A and B are shown apart, each in its own frame.
Chain A
Amino acid sequence: MNAENIIFYLLAAMTLVSGFMAVTSRLIFRSAIYLLFSLIGVAGLYFWMQYEFIAAVQIVVYVGGITVLIIFSIFLTQQAGEALPAAIFSNKLAAAMAAVFGLALLLLQFRNFPFLESTSVTSPAMKEIGSRMLDVEQTGYALPFELVSVLLLAAMIGCIVIAMRPQHEKENK
């Protein structure tokens, strides 16, 4: 067992264990921190696969952006020190059964399905990603890129409108 494999298994264990703690911890702030470590583990797996650009995007957007947003909303909406009420047992049982049977089904499929793994394993260079992203030819991704930019603008305006205090409330204060 060489260092590469050991790092892979450590990253996998970190991702799964902290992901599980994130969905089961009763303290909401702690659960956000476990989510942070799980997302860092996924970024580590991208680094392990030598997809450095995706790993960097994962760290910037998820670890730096979404987790901070979640922590802010926790501070805005509740007492972070209080424990959440425990989940209803029948709900927990049903969800656990759905998760376990779904996972078993998928693992069985992975075991039996013959994936045609390629022999030449490469990872894309930064330059290729950039030129492919803004390519307007048949295989380029310029149109989805523009669509996503419009979507981000719409989401930004939508967030401001939703979170804005209505006019009559302001006048009452």
Chain B
Amino acid sequence: MQPGLYHILCISAALFFIGAFGFLTRRNLITMLMGLELMLNSVNLNFIAFDKYVWPGKMDGLFFTLFIIAIAAAEAAVVIAIIINVYRSTHAIDVEQTKQLKH
């Protein structure tokens, strides 16, 4: 069977839920960030698949993907700055131990 839109949608759905599983089970901030990156990638894959197979030549999905990649890069940089700051004040990056903002 020739792979097409349906196959790519299935792959991106599976990648999204793999990322969601990682995000929900991990207790370490860096590994949670990895799950988040997988989810963002699956969304990009979805946009590109619709751009190619449903509205070819309109390029809207392509630009959404480009902007998502740019914003994801900025988000990852900010997250890692926050992680390093959290590590500096608590000497751990476990989400169970970061509760200074709680009270």
Chain A contacts for B72, CB-based, 8 A? 61, 66
A152 to B67, alpha carbons, bound, how many Å? Answer: 11
Chain B contacts for A96, CB-based, 8 A? 21
A78 to B90, alpha carbons, bound, how many Å? Answer: 13
A73 to B85, alpha carbons, bound, how many Å? Answer: 11
Size category, B interface: 35 or more
In the complex formed, the residue of B with least CB distance to A22 is: B34
What is the CB-to-nearest-CB distance from A115 to chain B, in angstroms, rounded to a whole number?
6
Chain B contacts for A123, CB-based, 8 A? 52, 56
Residues A117 and B41 in contact, CB atoms below 8 Å apart: no
Residues A19 and B17 in contact, CB atoms below 8 Å apart: no
Residues B84 and A69 in contact, CB atoms below 8 Å apart: no
Residues A77 and B93 in contact, CB atoms below 8 Å apart: yes
Residues B30 and A117 in contact, CB atoms below 8 Å apart: no
| Cβ 8 A contact of A12, one of B6, B7, B66 | B7
Residues A62 and B41 in contact, CB atoms below 8 Å apart: yes
A23 at the interface (CB under 8 A from B): yes
Residues B85 and A23 in contact, CB atoms below 8 Å apart: no
In the complex formed, the residue of A with least CB distance to B57 is: A122
Residues A31 and B20 in contact, CB atoms below 8 Å apart: no
Residues B74 and A74 in contact, CB atoms below 8 Å apart: no
A116 to B26, alpha carbons, bound, how many Å? Answer: 39
Residues B84 and A76 in contact, CB atoms below 8 Å apart: yes
In the complex formed, the residue of B with least CB distance to A141 is: B63
Chain A contacts for B49, CB-based, 8 A? 49
A152 to B74, alpha carbons, bound, how many Å? Answer: 6
Residues A163 and B55 in contact, CB atoms below 8 Å apart: no
Which residues of chain A from 71 to 125 have any CB-CB distance to chain B below 8 Å in the complex?
72-74, 76-78, 84-85, 87, 91-92, 94-96, 98-100, 102-103, 106-107, 110, 115-118, 120-124
| Cβ 8 A contact of B71, one of A31, A46, A148 | A148
Which residues of chain A from 13 to 52 have any CB-CB distance to chain B below 8 Å in the complex?
15-16, 19-20, 22-24, 28, 31-32, 35, 38-39, 42, 45-46, 49, 51
Chain B contacts for A66, CB-based, 8 A? 37, 72-73, 76
Residues B35 and A23 in contact, CB atoms below 8 Å apart: yes
A85 to B93, alpha carbons, bound, how many Å? Answer: 13
Residue of A19, A42, A120 with highest tally of chain B CB at under 10 A: A19
Which 4 A-B pairs have CB atoms at the shortest separation, nearest pair first?
A: A23-B22, A95-B24, A155-B74, A99-B17
5 contacts between A and B (CB under 8 A): A51-B62, A62-B69, A99-B20, A151-B70, A162-B82
If A158-B81, A162-B82 are given as contacts, then 8 extra A-B residue pairs at C-beta distance below 8 Å, sorted by A number, are A8-B3, A8-B7, A23-B34, A66-B72, A70-B33, A122-B57, A129-B62, A160-B81
